[in-house]
């Protein structure tokens, strides 16, 4: 990259590449210089040679300094440090160790480990409520999608800057970061046909009260994995009828048959995460996912699932969204009939992943929780360490399901 700069601007050293940090990068995909300069709308004649182009660029009024607000030689932008409320506890305990050992024995995957969930130890051990939970990832550990965040889009570069930047390395302005920590492939291995039975037997032996079954996206399969989900739920319920099962499913590309199949499988909670606010879907999620499709999936689940089945979704904050966007998204989710919504802080798993835009305060999370209750959500879990499959939330969801079933049973007896 430095060679490109020296080639174009001979008086700039390779070490000065860091001045390009002067471009303001934000997850809204905006890139703009601080200094605004009026540029003639009359296009210059096309350059016939690279030498002509260099001369023309040197004669124009704009220079690299017009796009720089600070020069820091030999420095890198540091990530936002974690605040004190984001400190994590080290997982442990007898039940935690037993579950982990069994997972390794049966070669099962959990999203708790794959996504580096900060609540892993608390959930597996049972915590304060005594409701031990785990989130099992079926259909393998390799996703067919790759949710990324593009921080600078070429189409949104200022025209005055484009002439300079188009000659530099693409690394300068096409910065792609992973959002999800699960590995990806266009052709993942086929699902294990014995997995539904193995998962059911393992979970039935753990003494869990509540289990979440989730999966990677499997766009490579004819039914996108919906049959695998259904079989796993049914086998688990056959072995342990009283366990509560939540299916945290992909969007199945909006396929109505897939959603109907899983909704009628015997699960207790149908969950599908919209991940982020409506305005940032294209920035954060894979191009095959979108807000409308996710909302439609949640609506279809409500339509097909038996009475008493809850629907649930989740978003992560700290990706660059605004409070107004969060509230607007909440309103649309509630209008879709969703019963439960959770909010958590996005945490960057590694340097390859999308940077954290902001650490949302616990006070702000509490405001969203209270607002969600006012909107009519039956339960809202909101906090920096909350994840979609969160033990404390599942304790309350369990209570709601049991209460709903008691009412349905009572109404049925009265009718007979």
Which residues contribute to the annotated binding site for [4Fe-4S] cluster?
Answer: 112, 117, 123, 143, 147, 180, 389
* Beta strands at 340-345 and 310-317: parallel, antiparallel or unpaired: parallel
Cβ 380 vs Cβ 369: under 8 Å: yes
Residue 180 · residue 186 · CB < 8 Å: no
Return binding residues: 112, 117, 123, 143, 147, 180, 389
CA dihedral 115, 116, 117, 123 (to 10 degrees): 110
The C-alpha angle 413, 414, 416, rounded to 5 degrees, equals: 65
- CB atoms near residue 30 (< 10 Å): 15
What is the Cβ-side half-sphere exposure of residue 75, based on CA atoms within 13 angstroms?
A: 10
SS3 content of the chain, % helix, strand, coil (to 5): 45, 10, 45
Tokens of 351: 């340097």
- From CA 160, how far away is CA 361, in angstroms rounded? 38
Between the two ends of the chain, the Cα-to-Cα distance in Å is 78
| Alpha carbons 46 and 66: distance in angstroms, whole number | 23
Q: Compute CA distances 178 → 82, 151, 245, 340, whole Å.
A: 19, 11, 30, 27
């Amino acid at each position: 990259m430095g060679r490109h700069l020296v080639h174009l601007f001979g008086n700039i050293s390779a070490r000065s590449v860091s001045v390009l940090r002067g471009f303001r990068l934000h997850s809204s995909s905006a890139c703009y210089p601080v200094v605004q300069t009026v540029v003639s709308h009359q296009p210059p004649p096309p350059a016939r040679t690279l030498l002509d182009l260099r001369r023309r660029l040197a004669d124009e009024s704009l220079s690299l300094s017009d796009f720089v607000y600070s020069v820091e030689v030999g420095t890198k932008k540091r990530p936002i440090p974690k605040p004190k409320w984001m400190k994590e506890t080290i997982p442990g305990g007898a039940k935690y160790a037993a579950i982990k050992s069994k997972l390794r024995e049966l070669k099962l995957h959990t999203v708790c480990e794959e996504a580096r969930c900060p609540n892993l130890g608390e959930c597996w051990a049972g915590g304060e409520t005594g409701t031990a939970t785990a989130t099992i990832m079926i259909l393998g550990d390799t996703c067919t999608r790759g949710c990324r965040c593009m921080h600078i889009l070429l189409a949104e570069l200022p025209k005055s800057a484009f002439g300079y930047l188009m000659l530099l390395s693409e690394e300068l302005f096409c910065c792609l970061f992973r959002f999800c920590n699960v590995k990806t492939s266009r052709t993942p291995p086929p699902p294990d046909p014995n997995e539904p039975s193995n998962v059911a037997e393992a979970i039935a032996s753990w003494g869990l009260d509540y289990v979440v079954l989730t999966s990677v996206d499997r766009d490579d399969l004819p039914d996108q994995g919906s049959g695998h989900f259904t079989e796993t739920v049914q086998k688990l319920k056959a072995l342990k009828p009283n366990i509560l099962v939540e299916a945290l499913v992909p969007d199945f590309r909006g396929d109505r048959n897939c959603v109907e199949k899983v909704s009628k499988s015997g699960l207790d909670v149908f969950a599908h995460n919209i991940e982020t606010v409506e305005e940032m879907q294209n920035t954060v999620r894979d191009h095959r996912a979108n807000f409308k499709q996710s909302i439609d999936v949640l609506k279809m689940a409500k339509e097909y699932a038996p009475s008493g089945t809850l629907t649930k979704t989740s978003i992560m904050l700290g990706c660059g969204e605004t409070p107004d966007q969060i509230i607007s998204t909440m309103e649309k989710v509630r209008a879709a009939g969703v019963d439960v919504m959770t909010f958590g802080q996005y945490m960057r798993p590694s340097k390859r992943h999308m940077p954290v835009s902001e650490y949302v305060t616990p006070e702000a999370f509490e405001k969203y929780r209270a607002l969600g209750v006012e909107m009519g959500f039956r339960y809202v879990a909101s906090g920096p360490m909350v994840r979609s499959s969160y033990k404390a939330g599942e304790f309350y969801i369990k209570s709601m399901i049991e209460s709903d079933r008691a009412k349905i049973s009572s109404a049925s007896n009265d009718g007979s």
